[in-house]
Amino acid sequence: MSAPAFVTSSSSKSSNGRSDAPVRSGGTAAGEALDDGLPDGANLPFLEQVWQSYSDDPQSVSPDWRAYFEQQTVEGGAGDAPAAGSPFPRRSVFRPAAGTAANGAAPHARVGADVPEGDLDTAALQESVDMLIRNHRVRGHIAAAIDPLGRHHEMPEELDPAFYGFTEADLDRKFSTSSFGGPERRTLRQIISWLRNTYCRSIGVQYMHIDSLRVRRWLQDRMEGTGNYLRLEKDTQLRILRKLTDATVFEEFLLTNFPGKKTFSLEGGETLIPLLDLMISRAGRYGVREIVLGMAHRGRLNVLTNILGKPPREIFREFDDDDPESHMGEWDVKYHLGYSGSYEVRGDKSVHLSLCFNPSHLEFINPIAQGRCRAKMDRVGDTHDPTGEGPGTGGERGMTLLIHGDAAFAGEGVVQETLNLSELPGYAVGGTVHVVVNNQIGFTTTSEQGRSSTYATDVAKMLQIPIFHVNGEDPEAVAQVVKLALDFRRENKKDVVIDLLCYRKRGHNEQDEPAFTQPAMYSLIRARDGVRAGYLSRLLERNDVTAEDAEEIAEHSRVRLEAELTLAKEKPRLEEQASLEGVWDGYHGGAKADHVETAVPAETLQELLRKLSDLPEDFKPHRTLQRRFLAQRAEMAAGKKPLDWSAGEALAFATLVTGAGPDGAGPDGHPIGPLPMRMTGQDAERGTFSHRHAVLHDSETGEEFLSLQHLSDTQQRVEIHNSPLSEAGVLGFEYGYSVDTPEGLIVWEAQFGDFVNAAQVVIDQFITSGEDKWNRLSGLVMLLPHGYEGQGPEHSSARLERFLVAAAESNIQVCYPTTPAQCFHMFRRQALRRWRKPLIVMTPKSLLRLPAAVSDLSDLANGGFQNVIPDATADPAEVKKVLLCSGKVYYDLAAARDERDAADVAILRVEQLYPWPAAELKAATADYADGTPTVWVQEEPENMGAWRYVLATVGCNDLFGRFPLSWVARPASASPATGSDKAHKLEQARLMREAFAPAN
């Protein structure tokens, strides 16, 4: 069978070396017929495109090409399969057998000797049309009129019909469009118009990178079937106009009444307000009842008042700042504040909106918002795949909506981390909607200086999702994109990106002069009338609204703001929005912690240990785990072995999720019952040091089993997930989850504590300061493996000192427990108390298997967490020296004391470093003689660890006015630890010598 005719290039070349006028088979640019059927070299890219289209979807090429490729597959047989890297069979029309032409005839015979030349020309023309359509789908966004400043990209040559040899004479010729929806046949003129309307007007779409044919066709049907245009009813047009007016008038009002104040105006991007209005309304009609929003500061005040419903008078009072004494040392600037409210949608339904508090670190709110949304979804069962085998399938009732800036979306690495979480079972939220408010500049940095990619959104192409670029001065195109985006999310449970191209009318803030650095850009901006004026003009031209209607809308908005300003002046005191309502009712922050009983009867602990060791009959764990780990658990349950760290931790989790514990009520009459538990982190299922094994794997099938999920019919949900290799994104997610799950134990574990510094923004901006800035509480637990064991500067220190420097006003808890029992009581205390504070834990490495670091079952069945562990072996009357320490170094000191037979040295463990346990420490030292030398001993260098914090907290070198206080530590250092194992041992030996040296 002969191949369908193909295009060939002209012999004339443009100045840049590319073909100017490719023509059809049957003639060159000079009108001369080709004298054989072999393709000209310049045609190979075209032929490869046809083959690629056929490979992706046989129905996407014309019947002629389809029949040809099918026949080549049959004729070639297994032995003639295409070579690797080649799109063509070894023997085909493009690679004929020796002694033959492409059509199998003698050499130099004309192509199509057995087929009428007119049919070949028609087939070639049809293929050119097919490629024109495909290239518009792939590259149409480049030519789209999406820049409101009118700066368009040059039309890609493959979108020009002349590239395929078409002329004016071909415009009214009809071609098949049956494979592309709509009429079976259209003229070339209609096809071009249809393509330009769909892909090159105010909407540019990137979606051909999506691998799924089903998804691509789904998008094509909805875009090409309508020309990417949504016909709006008059009431929707008026709604858009009202929202645009509200946004515009609000910015003008702030500028007039609060001159010189920073507002981070939305001017130039006011279309964001109707976009959000349309999106929330449509989401509400689709059944969404909860939306968590995250955004930076630009336009935040506008969103707060015109979307969240925050009364403008509260914002006006924040501008006046009439009560500074009430916020001394706390609170935050007005454009970082969050808010929550209800949004009414059609059908007497409402959507609850939560705008997250967000500092100036821009994109770090992204995983936090997603974590909050996941928590809300889990609470109502609108959640991920319950089998844990696939991506999220929830999102019916909850949705995350993130509003980004263009420079930050391209520049901040946490964006990629957040995108990567989107389809992982432990983090999926049914698809996040990303809206990039694209000002086309970042502060004073242009896109050419700020990113290497074509678009600010190109990082999102890592996902199999569409990216919609839309002109922010075309609100009706925005309405179409909103519909497409929400329909896509609803159908596919995936993220979706809207790139709202607009501009920033003023500088980075209202005090900046942007023309200093972008004079040309701001010349264009200042020549524009604004989004509302442009849309109103279009409505007036179409007689969709009258000038009187428009002025009435604007006057209503102005009158409302004037009334709010009057109220603000009459009552200047701020009305604080309550934060401890709903799921937070009954919980509290502040300085006063409540006491809870954490002991659990021994019989209950033994039964839970047995259940933690039970496996399904047909489940086959690794032999080593069966022989050692599970068998030892059974021995611990029988009282034959003491509990190791893993067992203490597992029992804490098991008792919490089953509600095991003493009968009665907890603090404030709160009943104790099963509590949800969630833990994530790199290798959290097994544990970095192969100690936890919470999730077991069948050695033959790979099937997973989480025993904590199979303890009781009435237990609460348990999630333990390995996280991706991410600190900032994952820690942010878990912090967000904890903000909406006060009743649960939410745990994040670092692979090594050293790596937590990759999440420092989340720690500084949210975890340690959230209560002080926003009155937002969290009970998040951070497990940070810490300890000096000769593993070098990046595997020794969780930088304990950084947390102690940030500790103030009872904002966090910092603990360094040394026994499994302490670990057990610590977790239970954290979950059962109504006092919600982040808990930072320095966790062990070598202690996980140290024979001395064990506990009896009775230690869990009695007592509670000890902030200070006294020395129960030293006789106070004989003590001549007191060593204070925290964490792993205790066991080194205890071993050194035994070696030296130094019975006159007492060793006290400070297990909670913050809040500082002054009362417990005072009681633990009460029986020692006044003047007894007391030494703080730590493994860390003197400028790290806890020493300087201890000294600052005690206030002098005289502990309680009774004991002279000194220290022993490694010398101050720029790096946490040595990389030499032998040097480490020498340093550790020196610490022991100095700690037990005779007092001066």
pLDDT (0 to 100) of residue 102? 37
Q: Which residue in 358, 357, 393, 394 sits closest to 379, CA to CA?
A: 394
Give residue 71's Cα distance to chain centre.
Answer: 49
- H or E segment and range at residue 745: strand 745-749
> Is the omega angle on the peptide bond into residue 367 within 30 degrees of 0, that is, cis?
no
Window from 79-93, 129-143, 292-306 with minimum mean pLDDT:
79-93
**pLDDT given for residue 335 in this prediction:** 58
pLDDT band of residue 602 (cuts 50, 70, 90) is very high
pLDDT given at position 909: 98
Residue in the structure block whose two tokens are 């925050």: 310
> Does the pLDDT at position 28 exceed 50?
no
**What confidence tens digit (pLDDT) does each residue in 961-985 have?**
999 999 999 999 999 999 999 999 9
Q: How confident is the model at residue 53 (pLDDT cuts 50, 70, 90)?
A: confident
pLDDT band at 575 (very low <50, low <70, confident <90, very high): low
Average of pLDDT values for 567-588?
Answer: 77
Question: 3-state secondary structure string, 778-795?
Answer: CCCEEEEECCCCCCCCCC
Least confident residue range of 279-293, 404-418, 567-581, 942-956: 567-581
> Tens digits of per-residue pLDDT, 248-267?
999 999 999 998 888 888 99
Least confident of 246-260, 477-491, 875-889, 931-945: 246-260
The stretch 223-249 carries a mean pLDDT of: 94
**pLDDT by residue (tens digit) across 90-128?**
333 333 344 443 333 333 333 333 434 556 677 889 999
DSSP state for residue 924 in the 8-state scheme: H
685-705: pLDDT as tens digits: 999 999 999 999 999 999 999
Q: Find out whether 343 and 309 touch, Cβ atoms under 8 Å.
A: yes
Query: Is the confidence at residue 514, as pLDDT, over 80?
Result: yes
Instruction: Report the pLDDT value the prediction gives residue 113, as an integer from 0 to 100.
Output: 37
Question: How many angstroms from the chain centroid is the CA of residue 318?
Answer: 31
Q: How confident is the model at residue 893 (pLDDT cuts 50, 70, 90)?
A: very high
| pLDDT of 635 | 93
Average pLDDT over residues 361-381: 93
What CATH number has the domain spanning 868-995? 3.40.50.11610
For the sheet containing 881-885, what is the strand order?
Answer: 868-869, 905-910, 881-885, 934-941, 963-970, 958-959
Structure tokens at 744: 């649960």
Confidence at residue 124, expressed as pLDDT on a 0 to 100 scale: 86
**Distance, CA of 900 to CA of 902 (rounded, Å):** 5
Instruction: Out of 7-11, 170-174, 466-470, 858-862, pick the least confident.
Output: 7-11
CA atoms within 13 A on the CB side of 943: 7
The pair of three-digit structure tokens given for residue 921, joined into one six-digit string: 């420490």
Out of 378-387, 654-663, 756-765, 944-953, least confident range? 378-387
pLDDT tier for residue 515 given thresholds of 50, 70 and 90 = confident
Give pLDDT, residue 50. Answer: 73
The average confidence (pLDDT) of the chain is 86
Whose CA is closest to 529, among 302, 273, 268, 298? 268
pLDDT at 523: 86
In tens, the pLDDT along 523-568 reads 888 889 899 999 999 999 998 889 999 999 999 999 999 999 999 8
733 has a pLDDT exceeding 90: yes
Residue 325 has pLDDT above 60, yes or no: no
Residue 39: is it exposed, middle or buried by C-beta count within 10 angstroms (0-12/13-18/19+)?
buried
Position 920 pLDDT exceeds 90: yes
SS3 576: coil
- pLDDT above 90: percentage of residues in the chain: 70
Is it the case that residue 36 has pLDDT exceeding 50? no
Average pLDDT over residues 203-219: 97
What are the extents of the domains in the chain?
A: 1-143, 234-574, 602-861, 868-995
Q: What mean pLDDT do residues 448-470 have?
A: 95
Instruction: Domain 602-861: give its CATH code.
Output: 3.40.50.12470
Q: CA geometry: angle at 283 spanning 278 and 285, to 5°?
A: 100
Supply 353's token pair: 């909106």
Beta strands 496-501 and 677-681 are unpaired
| Statement: residue 724 has pLDDT above 70 | yes
User: Is residue 794 predicted with pLDDT exceeding 90?
Assistant: yes
pLDDT score, position 976? 95
pLDDT at 74: 52
CATH topology of domain 234-574: Rossmann fold (3.40.50)
Helix (H, G, I), strand (E, B) or coil at 282: helix
Of residues 543 and 783, more confidence is placed in 783
Asked whether residue 38 carries a pLDDT value surpassing 50, the answer given is: no
pLDDT, position 333: 64
Pairwise pLDDT comparison (510 vs 610), residue with the higher score: 610
Distance CA 926, CA 97 (A): 101
Query: Is the fold of 602-861 the same as that of 868-995?
Result: yes
Q: Please name which of 137, 134, 127, 135 lies closest in space to residue 63, comparing C-alpha atoms.
A: 127
Q: What's the pTM value of the predicted model, to 2 decimals?
A: 0.87
Give the model's pLDDT for residue 843.
96
Choose the weakest-confidence range: 333-342, 477-486, 728-737, 797-806.
333-342
- In sequence order, the 6+-apart residues with CB closer than 8 A to the CB of 257 are 316, 565
* pLDDT at 23 > cutoff 50: no
Q: Is residue 428 pLDDT above 60, yes or no?
A: yes
Q: In the predicted model, what is the mean pLDDT of residues 449-458?
A: 93
188-199 and 117-143 helices, crossing angle to 10°: 20
Using the predicted structure, report yes or no on whether residue 322 has a pLDDT greater than 90.
no
